[in-house]
Structure 1
Amino acid sequence: MPSLQNAVTVITGASSGIGKASALAFARAGARLVLAARRAEPLEETARECRQLGAEAIAVVTDVTDEVAVQALAQAAIEAHGRIDVWFNNVGTGVVGPYWEALLDLQKRVVETNLMGTLHGAHAVLPHFLRERRGVLVNMVSMGGWSPTPFAATYAASKYGIRGFSASLRQELTGYPDIHVCGVFPALVDTPGLAHGANFSGRAIDPPGPFLTPEHVAEVVVGLVRRPRAEVAVGLPATAARIAYGIAPVLTERGVGAAMRAALRRARPDTRSEGAVARTVPTGTGTRSGKPVWHVRGPSLGGVALGGLGLLVGAELLAGVLTRRG
């Protein structure tokens, strides 16, 4: 799909963060947009901004955990434009803290939102792709789909699940060379997402960064639709995590675990919060939250190798410290 002019594009989670940035990026490329999220007013604001850029855009309030609502979203796109060319499963949330500390209902909600939301989207759009024998399905994963995410175990479970689902689905669609299933694996991104997640750690979740910009991730998604690939890392840390866990999983697990424990120990105390996991909140309607960002133009092979090696060495050193202290 070298040109996105008039490409009918459905984006979930479009009221803020990467979803909003992606909507604006696709609007600039000339796509016709069908935007979805739980919050009506921020969603309509995104649609309005897309229309100001000259794109057609409609807003459909949708909770992706509701399969009927997601089917209705697909039907709204068909009724408005007669087809669907691109579907971006972008919604994501998480619970931070020891797994056993958070309410199980919230942990279930993470799986329902991240994993089941992705399954609902795929189930809604694939019949239309199969009828036309073409289409691009983009699933938002994260570098947490390649390596462990201690103190966000359910988030990691959902992201591992999305990666496995995407890989399996690609094989089921081998008879349809023009239907593509793509996974996006970004490193930390400056969005309202951290504030929207639940926090049961008792500590403020405020990673020092630097972060990717949601606009950069959005441009990667647009490029991926133009030239589909199975999996794409966004940011050197994501590529490094993939390499490190593939080569030395035990060392990487220990290193990431030690780093997370140290970060939580250093963080200031904070109250526990359910965030926006179970219900919407009015805050966080922009693309960014204001954290320090870096602009990535794509890592070189040497940079990838050095990043992976650095992560491995760091993991090994941390593992050695833990062993000596044990």
Structure 2
Amino acid sequence: MSRVVVIVGATSGIGRATARAFAERGERLVLAARATQTLAEVRAECADVDVLTVPTDVTEPGALDALAGAATSRFGRIDVWVHTAAVMAYGRFDELPEHVFEQVVRTDLLAAAGSARVALRHFQAAGAGTLILTGSVLGHITAPYMSAYVASKWGLQGLVRTVQQELRDSPQIRLCMINPGSVDTPVYQQAANYLGRVGRPPPPIAGPQRVARAIVDCTDRPRREVSVGRLNAVLRFGFTVLPGVYDVLVGPLMRLAGLSGRPVDAHDGTVFAPNPAGEAVRGGHLPDLRQLARSVPGPPGAALRRWFT
């Protein structure tokens, strides 16, 4: 029997890729995000499976409880809960408006904690379930001009480790943490910006489908933490073992690789409201290798299409 999978943050980037990946497996989906219009688009992309869409602002009191209620009313249970919702803001800490900083933390840390609380309540009642939260390599290292996002991901890392310890007496309830590095999603362009230059993911950049595959794989083979990114281990080593060298290099490297040359006026991005026009699986930071895969005939082309879609 197919599982019931709740995906929070399903309209863009990793969340949207994850919805497609679970749909390919025939799972029943509950898709949640702020933009009703984009939820309808993702529902159409997953048309071969049973899909419930629930417009949800994760920062609104009671919204996640209402989401869980809608899921159980429709399907009778929840087997997997995936939280990918996140926003981002660029700017020096002392120049980033306080209300923007607090809303990023509210979305990226407190709402993720809310998702975990709601999901675990249902899993405890059922006796089993898999909760997957999306962190970042920036939950283990730091980078300038991203203070709110970094603080949120460090907090989430600590929360997950603590809850994993508390779940040791509930072996059928699994909590997995997915920590991507740079990923080709629209979150960088959609970010609030008080720095004057548009952000971008520094290389090497992974495709969102790769992160989605890691998420789906954790439902079959749950693991405490999964890192997705070729340089994640190197960055964590440098941050921990060579902190002085790391701190000297991270600023120039961030300005060179993590920021584009495009100027931008100060704005709040999608921190407070969605931008449906900017939501997509990919952010355009990598070539669309799916098109290349479609042009390759025979078994090699089929293998490439499975990898990139």
TM, length-normalised to structure 1 = 0.84
CA deviations over 1:234-273 (Å, ceiling 9, x no partner): 0112222223223233432332233224557873432222
Question: For 1:44, which of 40, 44, 48 is the aligned residue?
Answer: 40
In structure 2, the residue corresponding to 1:139 is in which secondary structure?
Answer: strand
Superposed, which structure 2 residues align to 1:14-33 within 5 Å?
14-33=10-29
2:160 aligned residue: 166
Q: Say which is worse superposed, 253-262 or 100-109, in terms of deviation.
A: 253-262
Please state if 1:251 is matched with 2:258.
no
Change (3 A) 1:179 1:40: same
Q: Hey, what's the Cα distance between the residues in 1 that align with 2:103 and 2:38?
A: 22
CA distance in 2, matches of 1:38, 1:265: 27
Q: CA RMSD in A?
A: 1.9
Distance (Å, rounded) in 2 between the aligned partners of 1:43 and 1:189: 21
More displaced, 21-30 or 251-260?
Answer: 251-260
CA distance in 1, matches of 2:240, 2:33: 35
Give the counterpart of 2:234 among 240, 258, 274: 240
Partner of 1:178: 172
Alignment of 1:80-119 (within 5 A): 80-119=74-113
How far does residue 82 in structure 1 lie from its aligned partner after superposition? 1.2
Once the two structures are overlaid, the 10-residue window that deviates more, 18-27 or 271-280, is 271-280
Match of residue 306 from structure 1: none
Q: Distance in 2 between matches of 1:79 and 1:266?
A: 46
Q: In the alignment, which residue of structure 2 is the partner of 1:223?
A: 217
What does 1:150-161 correspond to in 2, within 5 Å? 150-161=144-155
Equivalent of 2:190, from 192, 196, 203?
A: 196
- Asked whether the equivalents of residues 209 and 291 of structure 1 are also in contact (C-alpha less than 8 Å), the reply is no
In structure 2, relative to structure 1, the CA distance for the partners of 1:265 and 1:226 (3 Å cut) is closer
Matches within 5 A, 1:256-295: 256-262=250-256, 267-292=261-286
Asked if residue 9 in structure 1 is aligned to residue 5 in structure 2, the reply is yes
Which amino acid counterpart does residue 145 of structure 1 have in structure 2? G
Cα separation, 1, equivalents of 2:275 and 2:175: 32
1:307 is aligned to none
8 Å Cα contact 1:212-1:294 kept in structure 2:
no
The one-character-per-residue Cα deviations of 1:163-217 (angstroms, maximum 9, x if unpaired) are 1000000011110011111111111111111111101111132456342111111
Identity across the alignment (%): 37
Q: Do 1:143 and 1:233's aligned partners in 2 also have CA atoms closer than 8 Å? A: yes
3-state SS, counterpart of residue 86 of structure 2: coil
8 Å CA contact 1:212–1:293 kept in 2: the answer is no
* Counterpart Cα distance in 2 of 1:62 and 1:262: 36
For residues 237 and 294 of structure 1, do their structure 2 counterparts lie closer, same or farther at Cα, with a shift above 3 Å needed? farther
Q: Out of 233-242 and 146-155, give the one that drifted further.
A: 233-242
Partner Cα distance (1:191, 1:217) in 2: 11
Given that 1:95 and 1:154 are in contact with CA atoms closer than 8 Å, whether structure 2 keeps it comes out as yes
Equivalents in 2 of 1:14, 1:168: separation in Å? 26
Secondary structure, aligned partner of 2:198: coil
**Aligned AA (2:156):** I
One-letter identity of the residue aligned with 1:6: S
Q: Could you say what secondary structure the match of 1:204 adopts?
A: strand
CA–CA distance in structure 2, aligned partners of residues 231 and 154 of structure 1:
22
Paired letter, 1:13: G
Question: 2:201·2:258 contact (CA, 8 Å) conserved in 1?
Answer: no
Q: Residue 255 and residue 293 in structure 1: after superposition, are their counterparts in 2 closer, same or farther (change >3 A)?
A: farther
